[in-house]
Amino acid sequence: MKILVFGKDGQLGKAFQEELGVRTSALLAKPVVQYVGRSKYDLTNEEALTQLLHQFQPQLIINASAYTAVDKAETESDLAFAINARAPEIMAQYAADHDATFLHYSTDYVFDGEKYGFYLEDDLRNPLGVYGKSKVAGEEVIARVFAGARSNAQYAIFRTSWVYGDGGNFIRTILRLAKEREELKIIHDQFGVPTNANWLAQVSLSLAIDEHVRLRKFTSGNYHAVPAGETTWHELACLAVQEAIDAGVALKANPSAIEPILAVEYPLPAPRPMNSKMSTDKLHQVFEGWGDMSKLEQLNQSWDKAVRSYVANLAKDGLI
């Protein structure tokens, strides 16, 4: 099997390198995996992207690349749409025409956050900013391309939220600030679920491949993929800071010095949804249908346990 992974230098791309490495290490017949990043293939170069797909001929395409600069997107609309909609369209078209499987990622920002409770996959999309609009455009174009796909072609779009891994993210920013300042102010009226990039890669691979790294058959469409539970940015910041202190890191701010503020007190160029909570019932039903308890357990992992272990590892590696 040939696997092509885009976005190798991003948080999710790095997680795929790790997780695919683990899954394939004991295999005798290893898949051929190519990881590509911006330095070699800039996704705005449509010709190079098309050529790469036709030359490599992947059976599984994983698109971990994206334009993720939420605020900058407000003034870089064309670029955001090129990376988040046009490039995925080219990948999807290749998969649809060649019986391949396509895994793509989207975001809670496709919603306006007005819903009370957890968003379902089919809920109305109403993005508040350019980034969210570009991700909606990506979702729409992939669905359209696959409507005319060959019989074995399939796709999954995993909508996720508050991703953290090997790269810049909210948790690492908070830990840096807590080292520099005695007091912090963090939003406490936006709700969501922090998602570990490795967890997301694992869940994605659980849907797409079996233990021998052979493709599984699944129903194409959107899947919400976040761990169990819910929180606020403020609660997440307090937990991360406390965990770092418990791990022996010297910080200037402790959780009691993190003041909860309202989102309106911290205006940003791009508005964010107040409620980013997404139900994972659909993915649960798939794994339940397969009778696979280990995958269900993985899906049921709580966000806070994963954050604790992430921060503990950062501390152990001297990265705070």
Ligand X SMILES: NC(=O)c1ccc[n+]([C@@H]2O[C@H](COP(=O)([O-])OP(=O)(O)OC[C@H]3O[C@@H](n4cnc5c(N)ncnc54)[C@H](OP(=O)(O)O)[C@@H]3O)[C@@H](O)[C@H]2O)c1
Please identify the residue of the shown chain whose CB is closest to the bound ligand X. Answer: 10
Which contacts of 124-128 are long-range, i.e. CB under 8 A and separated by 24 or more positions? 128/270, 128/271, 128/272, 128/273
- 17 interacts with ligand X by CB under 6 A: no
Other beta carbons within 10 angstroms of residue 254's beta carbon come to 14
Q: Which residue number, 82 or 149, has a Cβ lying nearer to ligand X?
A: 82
Catalytic residue flag (residue 67): no
Min CB(1)–ligand X separation in Å: 23
List the one residue from 17, 101, 107, 220 that touches ligand X (CB under 6 A).
Answer: 107
- 140 interacts with ligand X by CB under 6 A: no
List the one residue from 3, 4, 5, 10 that touches ligand X (CB under 6 A).
Answer: 10
> Could you give the CA distance from residue 203 to residue 299 in angstroms, rounded to a whole number?
7
> Could you give the CA distance from residue 89 to residue 85 in angstroms, rounded to a whole number?
6
Given the residues 109, 119, 131, 223, the one annotated as active site: 131
Report CA 99 to chain centroid distance, whole Å: 24
Answer whether 94's CB lies under 8 Å from 61's CB: yes
- 64 interacts with ligand X by CB under 6 A: yes
Min CB(33)–ligand X separation in Å: 17
List the one residue from 59, 65, 101, 275 that touches ligand X (CB under 6 A).
Answer: 65
> Could you give the CA distance from residue 2 to residue 34 in angstroms, rounded to a whole number?
8
Q: Which residue number, 196 or 249, has a Cβ lying nearer to ligand X?
A: 196
Smallest CA-to-CA distance from 270 within 105, 173, 127 is with 127
List the one residue from 99, 167, 218, 282 that touches ligand X (CB under 6 A).
Answer: 167
First to last CA, the chain: 39
> Could you give the CA distance from residue 315 to residue 29 in angstroms, rounded to a whole number?
37
Q: Which residue number, 7 or 273, has a Cβ lying nearer to ligand X?
A: 7
| Window 188 to 247, contacts with ligand X (CB under 6 A) | 197
Min CB(197)–ligand X separation in Å: 6
Min CB(173)–ligand X separation in Å: 12
Min CB(73)–ligand X separation in Å: 11
Query: DSSP state, 183?
Result: -
List the one residue from 17, 134, 154, 161 that touches ligand X (CB under 6 A).
Answer: 161
Segment holding 32, helix H or strand E: strand 32-36
List the one residue from 3, 4, 13, 220 that touches ligand X (CB under 6 A).
Answer: 13
Amino acid identity for residue 317 in this structure: D
- Catalogue the active-site residues: 131
